[in-house]
A and B are shown apart, each in its own frame.
Chain A
Amino acid sequence: MGMRKLFLRNAFRHKLRTGLTVLGITIAILAFGMLRTMVNAWYAGVEASSANRLVIRNAISLVFPLPLAYKDRIRQVSGVTLVSWGNWFGGIYIEEKNFFPNFAVDPRSFLALYPEYLIPDPQRAAFLGDRKGAVVGKKLADKFGWKVGDTVTLKGTIFPGNWEFTIRGIYRGKDRSVDETQFFFHWEYLDETVKKTVPRRAGQAGYYIIGIANPNLAGEVSAAIDATFKNSLAETLTETEKAFQMSFVSMTEAILIAIQLVSIVIIVIIMAVVANTMAMTARERIGEYAVFKTLGFGGWFIAGLIFGESLFISLLGTAIGIGLTFPAAEAFAEYLGTYFPIFFVEKETVLMDLAAGVLVGVVAALFPAWRAVNIRIADGLRRIG
């Protein structure tokens, strides 16, 4: 009859109480894991950024375009290996709730800059050869049941009209961090149409994305590009792709901080609940602990019983909570994948769940264990009967 066997049996003495406590921990860990996954999803774009890419946009605001003519001057800046450009298109598929990101891109340079988008060679060739062709992410294609060869019409919001595209390729991400819900088409198709409809908006790129040879020189290259267009009508702001993505995240930083605070509060609340359970348990068993001490068992044994039981209950709830986080995250991604294209439970989240479980178990047992270890045997025995 070792200590482990004893605390395991103790844990199931009050099945309802233990069951409810485990349920509480399970829900708390599930909520904690989901909130952490949500925060990670928010930062997914930042995490997926490449150190070899810089983004150039209008220094006033992203809303203002940059002349296409800049591309040749950018290419001449030392350290720049590749130049691509594009526009946020903002098209709607059938109705607004079907939102997904869609961009007009220079296809050849774009695909060269983004090797993480994996497209079968025949599809790549078909896309490059069709001015009205588009490539879409696997998740997006699955969502709307699109296949290669299908015609898709987007209703323009920034660029009015109905825009017809032919799906020429379906890309997959090289890993889970790549967003598979995007829609890319030829920038030339956009520009030629705009030339006819709103000529003053033609020849404008919403942003440039450039490849650089050495990520360590990103600062120098950015400064050199911005210096090139200093005092022009459209001054540039060049930054790393990570900083660019981060600028979007920082707009919602307050929400992210609130989510993180809520996740911590959840753990603190469940810590109090488990601590209460353990305090109640230890108070009920104080006579038994006195018996153990009477028989010659030391304080470490008593503390081991209480810590063991507390950790067992806490880690049982944590394990179930972690187990449920995965299907819950999958269901969440399925339902709200448009807003959180990269939504999966990261290893760090699981480790944080485990750390929270251990912390809850240990903290909850501290006071009851201290009390049980320090009670006088005579006082403890008096509680019986």
Chain B
Amino acid sequence: MADQTSSPCDEHGPVPVLEKQPVIVEVRNVSKSYQRGSHVIPVLRDIDFDIREGEFLALMGPSGSGKSTLLNLIAGIDKVDSGSIVVGGVDITALDETELARWRATHVGFIFQFYNLIPVLTAFENVELPLQLTGLSRAERREHVETALRVVNLAHRMDHYPAQLSGGEQQRVAIARAVVTDPTILVADEPTGDLDRASAREIMALMCRLSRESGKTIIMVTHDPKAAEAAQVILRLDKGSLNHGHA
């Protein structure tokens, strides 16, 4: 059993900082506010930072600091008020809803706090879901899904429904679903927030492996300092503004 006090990435050695890698996400002067009745609530103010290819970045901050909003903006599921976000050379703030949906399908893998698996689909079918939007044949899809489930060590549970899996297993299925299309970036919103310590550790170890072995760019929102230790870069948000820092 791994040491409960060490970083989840320790058993594989520290994830190297990738300063020579090209920038894959450029966030420029992004501001965002929400309308609540007659009140306009500013959530993000002039956010400006880059994420390099293969980087594992943690967004931290107190509740209401805007970290999930920032993650949603980078993932293309919400729109900025001002500023721009360029991911892999594509200015996603200039895309319309349909183009954004198409872009998300191929460039972003999502990991949610509550797994968000579809309960009427088996683990296999949940992982296959994003591949439905690709032109892959059935046999190709099967191959991809099986590979993804093997990566998360759940190939033997592929015919199980989410209700038949533990929280940690469900999150591993969600990770398989996120990586099955080989997206440009992985976004994770509190991926360990609903898990016990052991399961959380397993998930973080898995994410470390994805970062180290597959060179995946991961952007993770977390409250958990332990989970954040897995990241190479930690950005702290406070009242909609940013503090930079390396892990």
Contact = CB atoms under 8 A, between A and B. Distances in A.
Interface of A: 1-2, 6, 9-10, 13, 287-288, 291-298, 376-378, 381, 384-385
A196 B69 CA distance: 105
A288 B114 CA distance: 11
A2 B131 CA distance: 11
B128 A296 contact: no
A384 B129 contact: no
15 contacts: A288-B116, A291-B112, A291-B116, A292-B129, A294-B104, A294-B110, A295-B104, A295-B110, A295-B130, A296-B101, A297-B105, A378-B78, A381-B112, A381-B116, A385-B114
Nearest to B107: A296
A13 B78 contact: no
A291 B77 CA distance: 10
A287 B194 CA distance: 17
Chain B interface residue bracket vs A:
20 to 34
Given A294-B110, A295-B110, A13 B104 contact: no
Contacts of B130: 295-296
Given A1-B128, A13-B119, A384 B114 contact: yes
B120 A297 contact: no
A287 B101 contact: no
Contacts of B194: 385
Interface in B113-130: 113-114, 116, 118-121, 125, 128-130
A109 to B, nearest CB: 71
Given A6-B120, A291-B118, A376 B78 contact: yes
A287 B120 CA distance: 14
Q: Which 7 A-B pairs have the closest CB atoms?
A: A296-B105, A9-B120, A377-B77, A385-B114, A1-B125, A291-B116, A296-B104
Nearest to B69: A378
A237 B75 CA distance: 84
Nearest to B113: A385
A384 B117 CA distance: 11
A293 B104 CA distance: 9
A296 B75 CA distance: 11
Contacts of B4: none
A297 B114 contact: no
Contact of A13 (B69, B98, B120): B120
Contacts of A296: 101-106, 130, 133
Contact of A298 (B101, B114, B119, B129): B101
Contacts of A297: 101, 105, 132-133
Nearest to B110: A294
Given A378-B72, A385-B114, A293 B101 contact: yes
A9 B161 CA distance: 12
A128 B102 CA distance: 84
Given A2-B132, A291-B116, A295-B110, 6 more contacts: A9-B120, A9-B121, A295-B130, A298-B98, A376-B78, A378-B69
Contacts of A298: 98, 101
A305 B118 CA distance: 13
Contacts of B78: 376-378
Nearest to B126: A1
A17 to B, nearest CB: 15
B116 A287 contact: yes
A295 B104 CA distance: 6
Contacts of B101: 293, 296-298
Contacts of A291: 112, 116, 118
B77 A378 contact: yes
Nearest to A379: B78
B120 A384 contact: no
A297 B113 CA distance: 21
A2 to B, nearest CB: 8
Interface string B50-89: 0000000000000000000100100101100000000000
Nearest to A298: B101
A312 to B, nearest CB: 14
Contacts of B128: 1
A85 B129 CA distance: 77
A1 B121 contact: yes
B39 to A, nearest CB: 17
A296 B95 CA distance: 14
B247 to A, nearest CB: 27
B181 to A, nearest CB: 9
B233 to A, nearest CB: 24
Most A-side CB within 10 Å, residue of B77, B112, B120, B194: B120
A291 B132 CA distance: 14
Contact of A295 (B72, B105, B121): B105
A13 B162 CA distance: 14
A240 B219 CA distance: 85
Contacts of A6: 118, 120-121
Contacts of A381: 77, 112, 116
